[in-house]
Amino acid sequence: MQRLIIGVIGAGDASPSGLEKAYQVGRLIALRGAVLVCGGLGGIMEAASRGCFEAGGEVIGILPGDKAASANPFITHPIVTAMGHARNVILVQTAAALIAIEGGYGTLSEIAIARKLDKPLVLLDSWPDIDNTLTTDAPQQAVITIFSLLGRNLQP
Amino acid sequence: MQRLIIGVIGAGDASPSGLEKAYQVGRLIALRGAVLVCGGLGGIMEAASRGCFEAGGEVIGILPGDKAASANPFITHPIVTAMGHARNVILVQTAAALIAIEGGYGTLSEIAIARKLDKPLVLLDSWPDIDNTLTTDAPQQAVITIFSLLGRNLQP
Amino acid sequence: MQRLIIGVIGAGDASPSGLEKAYQVGRLIALRGAVLVCGGLGGIMEAASRGCFEAGGEVIGILPGDKAASANPFITHPIVTAMGHARNVILVQTAAALIAIEGGYGTLSEIAIARKLDKPLVLLDSWPDIDNTLTTDAPQQAVITIFSLLGRNLQP
Amino acid sequence: MQRLIIGVIGAGDASPSGLEKAYQVGRLIALRGAVLVCGGLGGIMEAASRGCFEAGGEVIGILPGDKAASANPFITHPIVTAMGHARNVILVQTAAALIAIEGGYGTLSEIAIARKLDKPLVLLDSWPDIDNTLTTDAPQQAVITIFSLLGRNLQP
């Protein structure tokens, strides 16, 4: 009865192309019936949240601060950690699989934790050269790959 | 666009009466259209989750362990903190208001944080004598009071 | 080779009598060769830190904020959690035993976690009526009791 | 009155060369009068702890588990977080500057947080190609560089 939860990680600062791709990723996650989880703030996080929300999906925001009001307007389920960067770890653990879009050092810390925990992960225009991590520049390809990885993981 | 999130706090060990009241509280929260947040495990947490879920509601479980699979069967949105007792603080911060049902020392720690943060709080057959905290033995009264307190809080 | 670490819990707001007793408790902990751990800020925390430091002891401050500079001037080992109230749980877990001095709701949350974890605990002019928890109004008695409880715990 | 705290980050799995270099780094940190902070477990963490401890230094272990007894034998000040990977963030925040030695994905997450927080950082036989981060293969060079960076940071 648990909903499938897909993580989108990325920074508050992003390129126009990154924001557009994040919106598409969020939209495709909603259309496949999954819940999106992200860091709940602006930039990539907000663009993906908006894409998911406008397609009818739910969006969990794992917030670093101590106020639900700090969430972007498309977060439907704000989780108030008041734990700063440590909330990155909760985000990764909560997601069944993750897509990283562009991103800075905060995103790199999440990519590293995702690899540490062996979570399915796709890098979309993100950090290069993280040993054998799947990479793409196409939002649709990223989402298809993530769901395919989850399908494979769920098989015996 | 954020959903209203109501917290139910209580222990894994509970009396038959406590479990029945937790079920009713969960059900009433769902019927009023709110999301329930709890610690995600058994006892009071599971009874309230079941009441909410069976009435069509959503249930966020703020899990102390590192596996979504540790959640009770009625959790729809598992949050995987891997933070043990520190997850109690996230639970309280995430709830707009809380109902404590019976409970041991873990519950007392949540009641204390709720008072520290000035969250609306009702004690249902729970710890006695917490300075001026509202108490009741009726689930319906607890839920009505919580929503009434939130209504007052939301007014200027 | 681990140092014995004793926790002192209490609020930023305290009575003159509470501050004096906290100073004595800190001093006695240092004289017995233990390290003091506290929340690292003002009031009871600072008075106990000062008592310990001025008697030559070390003081660990488990800080809620993101800057070591937020510690009181007597903290020798600042731990920067940036986790707000969740740092209370780390404090209790790190202490081998604890003394609560006066205190508000934050202190009550720590008392509750200490009881949950079965840590030796003495209440010094603190919350009343926490089931069977030892209470006293004398700093020396509090410290003697804590070390006696630890001695008993360490014996087979 | 705060002690200077230097972080050493690295994995439980390490090469013989890495362990030897970690020991030297720990020793040099102690000889310069600083406290070492690490993750408190085995491998690089234990080798650095041992080097520091045997040279008379103090070693803070930010432990992921819920028992002080899980620390390596050279930890003098165990901090019990029970927060799993989220303790990595506390470690980085607590250190004034950090040296990464070899390391896996957990170490990469700490490197990323250190860069995010603009902490002075030297990579010793560690992850390559982290934008403009200082790298070396010599323990003495790593320690000299870290103290030099701190000196520069402290000057107006």
At residue D154, the pLDDT reads: 44
Which of these, B88, B23, B97, B91, lies nearest to B60 by C-alpha position? B91
Which of these, B2, B87, B110, B30, lies nearest to A78 by C-alpha position? B2
Residue in D closest to A118 by C-alpha: D105
**Minimal Cβ distance to A3: which of B1, B77, B83:** B77
At residue B153, the pLDDT reads: 47
At residue D123, the pLDDT reads: 97
Cα–Cα distance, C99 to C17 (Å, whole number): 16
* Buried/exposed B111-149: b ≥16 CB within 10 Å, e otherwise: bbbbbbbebbbbbbbbbeebeebbbbeebeebbebbbeb
Residue in D closest to B83 by C-alpha: D83
D138 contact partners, CB below 8 Å, separation of at least 6:
D124
The pLDDT of residue D155 is above 60: no
**pLDDT confidence of A152, banded at 50, 70, 90?**
low
Dihedral-angle region of residue D33 (phi above 0 means left; psi in -120 to 50 means alpha; beta otherwise): left
- Angle at which helix C105-116 crosses helix B105-116, to 10 degrees, equals 160
Are D116 and A104 a contacting pair, CB within 8 Å? Answer: yes
Q: Which tens digits make up the pLDDT trace of D38-67?
A: 999 999 999 999 999 999 999 999 999 999
Cα–Cα distance, B22 to A134 (Å, whole number): 46
DSSP label at A104? -
**CATH number given to D5-150:** 3.40.50.450
At residue A154, the pLDDT reads: 44
Q: Which tens digits make up the pLDDT trace of C70-108?
A: 999 999 999 999 999 999 999 999 999 999 999 999 999
Which of these, B5, B10, B6, B1, lies nearest to B109 by C-alpha position? B10
Q: Give the class (CATH, top level) of C7-95.
A: alpha beta
Q: Where are the domains of chain B?
A: 5-151
At residue D152, the pLDDT reads: 54
The pLDDT of residue B154 is above 50: no
- The helix (H) or strand (E) run that includes residue A60 is strand A59-63
Taking contacts as CB-CB distances below 8 angstroms, the residues of chain D near C58 are: 77
The pLDDT of residue A136 is above 90: yes
Q: Determine, for residues C83 and A82 on separate chains, whether the beta-carbon distance falls below 8 Å.
A: yes
Q: Which tens digits make up the pLDDT trace of A106-121?
A: 999 999 999 999 999 9
At residue D130, the pLDDT reads: 84
How many Cβ atoms are within 10 Å of D132's Cβ, its own excluded? 7
Q: Determine, for residues D113 and A109 on separate chains, whether the beta-carbon distance falls below 8 Å.
A: yes
DSSP of C22-51, one letter per residue? HHHHHHHHHHTTPEEEE-SSSTHHHHHHHH
- Residue spans of alpha helices (H) in chain B: 16-31, 44-54, 87-94, 105-116, 139-154
Are A28 and A143 a contacting pair, CB within 8 Å? Answer: yes
Kindly report the nearest CA distance between residue A79 and chain C, in angstroms. 14
Kindly report the nearest CA distance between residue D102 and chain C, in angstroms. 25
**Minimal Cβ distance to B85: which of C89, C108, C129:** C89
Cα–Cα distance, C89 to D33 (Å, whole number): 30
The pLDDT of residue C43 is above 70: yes
Kindly report the nearest CA distance between residue B11 and chain C, in angstroms. 11
A15-132 under CATH 3.20.20.10, yes or no: no
The pLDDT of residue A153 is above 80: no
At residue C154, the pLDDT reads: 44
Dihedrals phi, psi of B140, to nearest 5 degrees: -65, -40
State the residue for tokens 């650095």. Answer: D48
Taking contacts as CB-CB distances below 8 angstroms, the residues of chain D near A129 are: 129
**Minimal Cβ distance to C2: which of D76, D82, D94:** D76
Kindly report the nearest CA distance between residue B49 and chain D, in angstroms. 25
* Residues C50-61, mean pLDDT to the nearest whole number: 98
The pLDDT of residue A70 is above 90: yes
D115 contact partners, CB below 8 Å, separation of at least 6:
A105, A108, D121, D130, D131, D133
- Give the percent of chain D with pLDDT over 90: 92
Q: Which tens digits make up the pLDDT trace of C109-123?
A: 999 999 999 999 999
Cα–Cα distance, C37 to C58 (Å, whole number): 9
**CATH number given to B5-151:** 3.40.50.450
- Give the percent of chain B with pLDDT over 70: 97
- The helix (H) or strand (E) run that includes residue A36 is strand A35-38
D104 contact partners, CB below 8 Å, separation of at least 6:
A116, D11, D13
Q: Determine, for residues D116 and A129 on separate chains, whether the beta-carbon distance falls below 8 Å.
A: no
The pLDDT of residue B79 is above 70: yes
Q: Which tens digits make up the pLDDT trace of C114-148?
A: 999 999 999 999 998 788 889 999 999 999 999 99
Q: Which tens digits make up the pLDDT trace of D9-25?
A: 999 999 999 999 999 99
Residue in D closest to C54 by C-alpha: D1
The pLDDT of residue D153 is above 80: no
Chain-wide mean pLDDT for chain A? 95
